[in-house]
Amino acid sequence: MNIARRELLAASLGAAVLGQRPGLASSALAPAAAPVQEPAAPKADGWTRYAAQDLGLEGRGWSDVETPFDRLPARAKKLVRERVWRLSTDSSGMFVTFRSATPALRFEVELRQAQLDMPHMPATGVSGVDLYAREGDGPWRWVFCPRPGAQDYSAELKGLSPEPRTYRLYLPLYNGVKALRVAVPDGVELEPVAARKDPPLVYYGTSIAHGACASRPGMSFVNILGRRLDVPVLNLGFSGNGRLEMELAALLAEVDASAYVLDCLPNLGPRQVAERTEPFVHALRAKRPSTPIVMVEDRVNANAGFLPGRARHHADNHAAFRAAFDQLTASGVRGLTYVQDAPFLGEDGEATVDGSHPTDLGMVRYADALEPILRSLI
C-alpha cells in the first residue's frame, strides 16, 4: 500500500499519517521526571512541539544511558553480549505522559531501524507509537495508533473533543527511537506528567515479554499489566536472549524493584535451566534480600499436543525449573513465588501467530493469568 493510500485511509478516521520528513535533532538526555521549561524546536507551522524525553518518560530503570530511550545503562554495552545490547535499544515498555485539553495532536518520530515490521508482526507493533487517554481517575482507553510508513514519520490526530485528559503515548516495541516529539496546536497548553518514583515491577524475559507479536505497543502484556496494576514497569524482555545470564542478574539487582519476574524458559534448554537458575536467583537475593522474586514456567506452545518433541521439551524445562525452585527454598531462600501451569494461551489454540508468540488475544490472556499473582505481591 503506497503512502497516499495510507493517508487516505487514515484521514477517513480523522487522522493523517504523513510521509518521510527530515531527521529530527536528538535532544540531550534529561532526567525522566524533568519538567518542560520551553517547547522544543519552535516552527511557524501552527504546532508547538515538546521533546518526548521531557514529558515524564517512564519504563527506563537507569539515568546513565547512552540515549534517552535505551533500556540499559551505557556501561552495560561492555558487560552484556552484543545482541542483548542491541535489543536493549528497542524502546519496549517506555511511554510518555502529559495532560492537555487539545483538539489535535501531532507525533514526529525518528526510528533507529529502517525495518518497520517483521513477517509475523505488523509495523504498528514493531515501530508504532500508541496513544491512550484517561479522564480523571477513569480507566485508560485506547485512542490512536498511526501506521508507520518510513523510518522517519509524522502523524496527526485531529477532531478530538477538547476535554481535559491525561494522555499516555507508548513507544515502539521492536524498534528504537532516535527522537520523538509531541505537538499541540499553538496556544494550547500541554502539561508534562512527571515519571512516578515508585519502585517498578521488573520483568525479565524473552521475545514474548519484549512484545511479540502484539499488533500495537499498548497490547504488549507487560504494558497491559502496567495499566491494570497502575504501577511503573521496567520491561527487560530481550527477544531470543532472555537467558538468565549473571550480567543481567547484576543489572537487575541495581533496580530497587517492587518485584522481579523471571520468565526466561522459552530461550533455554533443560540443562541451561538447571545450571543457571539457582546462581541467578542467589545473586539477585544477595543484593535484594526482601524483594519478591516470581519464577514463571513459560507457556506450552499452542500446537505442542501435535508435536511430542515440543511437549517433552516443555516438560523437561519445567521440571528443571521446579527442581531449582525446590532447591532454593530448601536452602533457605525466601520470598519466591512459583507460577506453574498458568493458562497463558488458553485451551483453544487460537491465541498465537506461530504456536509460540501471542496475538493480542494471547497478550490479554497472559495479563489475565499474571495480574492476580502480581497484584498480591506489589
| pLDDT tens figures, 93-145 | 999 999 999 999 999 999 999 999 999 999 999 999 999 999 999 999 999 99
Contacts of 148 (CB under 8 A, 6+ apart): 17, 109, 111, 116, 123, 124, 127, 128
> Residue 9: pLDDT above 60?
no
Cβ contact 292:232 at 8 Å? no
Cβ contact 314:281 at 8 Å? no
Lowest mean pLDDT among 41-50, 200-209, 223-232: 41-50
For domain 201-375, the CATH class is: alpha beta
CA atoms within 13 A on the CB side of 10: 23
Average pLDDT of the chain to the nearest whole number:
91
Give CA 64 to chain center in angstroms: 19
- Mean pLDDT calculated for residue range 308-330: 97
pLDDT band at 71 (very low <50, low <70, confident <90, very high): very high
- Mean pLDDT calculated for residue range 299-324: 97
More confident residue, 74 or 20: 74
> Residue 270: pLDDT above 80?
yes
> Residue 16: pLDDT above 50?
no
pLDDT band at 43 (very low <50, low <70, confident <90, very high): confident
CA distance 255 to 240: 23
- Side by side, which strands form the sheet with 190-192? 141-144, 130-134, 165-170, 95-100, 190-192
> Residue 187: pLDDT above 50?
yes
For the segment 135-170, what is each residue's pLDDT rounded down to a tens digit? 999 999 999 999 999 999 999 999 999 999 999 999
CA distance 148 to 182: 16
> Residue 210: pLDDT above 80?
yes
> Residue 72: pLDDT above 90?
yes
> Residue 68: pLDDT above 80?
yes
CA distance 117 to 350: 22
DSSP E strand stretches across 215-352 = 233-237, 259-263, 293-296, 336-339
Please tell me whether residue 359 adopts helix, strand or coil conformation.
Answer: coil
- Mean pLDDT calculated for residue range 320-339: 98
> Residue 183: pLDDT above 90?
yes
> Residue 173: pLDDT above 50?
yes
Give CA 105 to chain center in angstroms: 23
> Residue 15: pLDDT above 70?
no
Neighbour-count burial of 68, counting CB atoms closer than 10 A to its CB (0-12 exposed, 13-18 middle, 19+ buried): buried
Phi-psi region of 308 (alpha: psi -120 to 50; beta: other; left: phi over 0): alpha
Q: Which residues pair with 48 in a beta bridge?
A: 184
What are phi and psi for residue 198, nearest 5 degrees? Answer: -65, 150
Domain parsing of the chain, residue ranges: 3-190, 201-375
Question: Rounded to whole angstroms, what are the CA distances from 230 to 58, 138, 181?
Answer: 12, 12, 25
- Mean pLDDT calculated for residue range 63-86: 97
Fold of domain 3-190: Jelly Rolls (2.60.120)
- Mean pLDDT calculated for residue range 280-307: 97
pLDDT band at 56 (very low <50, low <70, confident <90, very high): confident
What does the block give as the cell for 210? 519484549
What are phi and psi for residue 248, nearest 5 degrees? Answer: -75, -35
71: closest CA among 192, 272, 211?
211
